[in-house]
Structure formats: C-alpha cells, structure tokens
Chains A and B, each alone.
Chain A
Amino acid sequence: MMTRKWLAVAFMVLVMSVSVMTGCGNEKGGNTPGASDGNPDAGAEETLLDTIKSRGKLIVGVKYDTKLFGLKNPANNEVEGFDVDIAKALAKSILGDETKIELKEVTSKTRIPMLDNNEIDLIVATMTITEERKEQVDFSEVYFKAGQSLLVKKGSAIKGIDDVKKGTKVLAVKGSTSVDNIIERAPDANVLEFDNYQDAFSALKAGQGDVLTTDNAILYGMMAQDPGYEVVGEPFTDEPYGIAIKKGETELVDAVNAGLAAMKESGEYNEIYKQWIGEEPAE
C-alpha cells in the first residue's frame, strides 16, 4: 500500500515538473507568436500576418532530421534543405529579409500541436496535403510534388512506371505502402523487399534489382548520395507537400501563396529545387 502511494506521489511530481518545464520553455522563448504583445486576447482582431509583421520575424517549423528537406548539418549546426530555403524565401517575400526568420524543430507528431499552440507560424516540413489534415489546418498551394517514384541506374531502359513489366525486379522496403502501390500499378513485377532503405539501395547498386521504389523525396536523397542513379518518370502516387497554416488565417495563406507564386515567377523556386533535388521541377 505504502509503495503504491509513494509511486503515485512520484508520478504526480514527475508530471508537474514536466509541465513546469514546458511552461518555462514557452516563457523563456518570449516570442510566442500569440503572446507577442503580452496579452493574447488583445490580439484577437489582429491577424497572424499582422503579428508577424509587427514582430518582424517569421517563425517556421521545419524538420531537423530529413535529408534534402531539413537536416541539421553537424559541421556548423545550421539547418539546411529544400524546406528551409523555401521558408527563408517566404520570410523575404513577407518581411523583405530572408534573415528575419526563426527555425524550430518539428516532427510529424509535434508539428500540428505546435502550430495550434502558436509556437510556430508555418509548417514547412515535408507535410502531405490530405483531406483529413485539411480539417485541422489550412494549406498553401503545393510546393513540392511528392509521391512514389522510381530510382534506376542512369541509362536504364526503364523511364517510368509503364516500363515496369513482368520480370522487372523492383526493390522496396518491407511493410511500406509502396509495395502495395507498385503491385497495383505493375502486378507482374517481381518485388523484392528489404528491411530498410539503405539495404534496398545497396541491393540496387549491386545490380540485385532493376528499380527501387518509394517516396521520391527519399529517392532524391539517394540520388544526391550517388549521382550514378536517377529518379525517372512522374510520381505515380499523389502526395503533394503543402505549407500548413493555423486554421482561419486566410491573410497568411494568401501571403504564402503570393510568395510561392513570386518565387516561381522569378526563378528562385527553380534554383532552390535544383540545388536540393538535383534536377529541374517537372512542369
């Protein structure tokens, strides 16, 4: 009985200290978007876009662990990638200066709660636009056409999903939806499954298969690792990445869309795309 009581007390202490710590984190941050004027209610009429402008800084949630899109470079502690550069370009278009930005690390799990908590203004973090998510957040226009694609050795006869035929050896990762997708699109292909992406890519390099299939974002990462391989064809599944904004902040959505359009117009988008993805974006 005693032990149980103590355990309960210990647990309560633990829970309390965790909430105090996270609370502290917020306060110490001092630049929580909604609390920027010290009184969230006072900003009720003010749009998030106004807050950002008066604060003079865009706070963006990006991934810190995703190759090509948002990855912390251990050499200089800078977070780099496609998403990061898009976010910087948006800072420039909204605030006139790409350095007026603060990056915060998000994961797939934390990004929506952080947005809801006003800890971040935007999510630029390999986030696929889905109907389900649209109920929770607003999305910008598509800024990256993600989807399942094919990686082949340069010069391969396979140029797209239609070239995957009977006898083609397709390498994939066990238990991923990409296996189901490829079987649906190319039922006669010989699918060989591996435990992880590294093994599957090694097998492709060793000539143990003709193509490797998974999300193109991952394939582009492999392509960056070994330029002897290339992503071919359009993605044959549709998983477009969008920038997520807290629901109801229409002005900010418009500003982001305007920024994206301007980037595309000026060619900046293509530059960023080429730098990280390694090729021109498909039209």
Chain B
Amino acid sequence: MPDFSVLTDYFDVYMEGFLNTIYASVIALIASFLLGTVIAVFRISSVRPLRWVGTVYVEFIRNIPLLLVVYIFFLGLPLLGITLNGFVCGTIGLTVYTAAFIAEAIRAGIMSVPKGQTEAALSSGLTYVQAMRYVVLPQAVKIVIPPLSNQFLNLVKNSSVLSVIAGLDLMYFGDKVASDTYATIDTYLFVAAFYLVLTLPLSFAAHRLERRLAKHG
C-alpha cells in the first residue's frame, strides 16, 4: 500500500509540475505537428535543396538522444547569446525532436497515396501546395493517424526530459518530492499515475479516431 501522505502533503507541488507538463506537451504537440508536416513536404519535394534540408534534419535529429537535443538548446543557445529557461528549452527540444519522427510518419503516409492522385490534381491546374492540401494530405491522414498518435504519446512521456534542465515539469517535482521524503517508489507511483491521467485519454481518443476514419471509405 503506497504512502498516500506523499501524495496529499505534496499535492500542490505535483499539480504545478502536472500543469507544466500539460503546457509543454500541448505546445510541443501542435508545434511538432506543424514543423513535422513542413519537413515531410520538404523530404518529398521535387526541389533538391529542400529535399536535402529535410533529409539532413530527419537523419540528424532522429539519431541523437532527446536528452542531447534538449541540452543543445539549454546549454548551446546561450553561446549564441540566447538564453531561454529550462521550460522553454525543453519544449523547443521536444518539438524539434518529435517533429523528425512526425515528418517520417507523414512522409510514409503521403508516399502511400498513389502517385496518380497528385498527377490528377496537378494536371487540373492545382498548384503543388493545393494538390497536397486538398488531395494528398486528406488521404494520407488516415494512414498517418496510428503512427502519429504513437508519436504524441511518446511526446507526453518524453516531456519528462524537462526535469534534467530544471524545466519544472511533473518529473522535476517528482524527483524533488522523492528526495525530500525518501519515499522514492511511492512518489514515482504517483507520478506515473499523473502521466496516465494525460496519456490514457489521448490513447483512447486515437483509437476512436482510427475506427471512425476506417469506417469512411
């Protein structure tokens, strides 16, 4: 039986972290989706330099640990005269990191839409961007939803990386409570419960969306 006083005595502390984790996740989720979409479009673009930028981005970011990406923003940016706090750096790092995976998921989705669709759209006079927006992406979405929701779940969990750069997230305060109370296991159990409060609904929503999209042609 876990020691619930670790939860009740420090509830405000957990809540501060919990809210910050939500903020960081929501911001990074939206931003990484937008950035990931742009990178994906770069990767399949017919313009070689864009394709090159997209590939370099994905291969670099995807192949280094998130922790390092976050450190680069937290410790590296100040070298360029830009000092942002742990929360901001962590959220940017999460965004940049997750965008690489989202770009790959979206690219795979786009590639799975038959080439004839783009050709039909282009030959009717739509621009490349319009063809993407009205014809290809809506079809890609269905294929992209499952891997994308995976990435979003990972993002929420990965937000715990903020704790190492004093990002004031749930994990940061969890560590703090654990070291204050020495009730390490109990504390982390409650921290896990808080994460589940966030991730389980997201997981259910993703499943429902998948089922709904599967129904419509």
Contact = CB atoms under 8 A, between A and B. Distances in A.
B175 A206 contact: no
Interface string B189-213: 0000000000000000000000000
Nearest to A209: B166
Interface residues on A, range: 10 to 19
A195 B178 CA distance: 13
A192 B179 CA distance: 14
Nearest to A176: B179
Contact of A199 (B77, B164, B180): B164
B49 interface: no
B83 A194 contact: no
B176 interface: yes
Contacts of A199: 164-165
A193 interface: yes
Contacts of B176: 174-175, 193
A175 B86 contact: no
Contacts of B85: 208
A174 B179 CA distance: 7
B18 interface: no
Interface in A93-134: none
B75 A202 contact: yes
Contacts, number: 45
Contacts of A195: 164, 175
A200 B86 CA distance: 12
Main secondary structure of the interface of A (DSSP, over half): mixed
Contacts of B77: 206
B101 interface: no
A194 B75 contact: no
Contacts of A193: 166, 172, 175-176
Interface residues of B, number: 18
B190 to A, nearest CB: 17
Interface in A3-44: none
Contact of A194 (B78, B164, B178): B164
Nearest to B172: A193
Contacts of B42: none
Interface in A176-195: 192-195
A207 interface: yes
Contact of B166 (A175, A194, A205, A207): A194
B151 to A, nearest CB: 26
A67 to B, nearest CB: 21
B78 A174 contact: no
A255 interface: no
A206 B73 CA distance: 10
11 contacts: A174-B179, A193-B175, A194-B166, A203-B74, A205-B75, A206-B76, A206-B78, A206-B79, A208-B74, A208-B83, A208-B86
Interface of A: 171, 174-175, 192-195, 199, 202-203, 205-208
8 A-B pairs with least C-beta separation: A175-B179, A192-B166, A206-B78, A206-B75, A207-B83, A207-B78, A202-B75, A174-B175
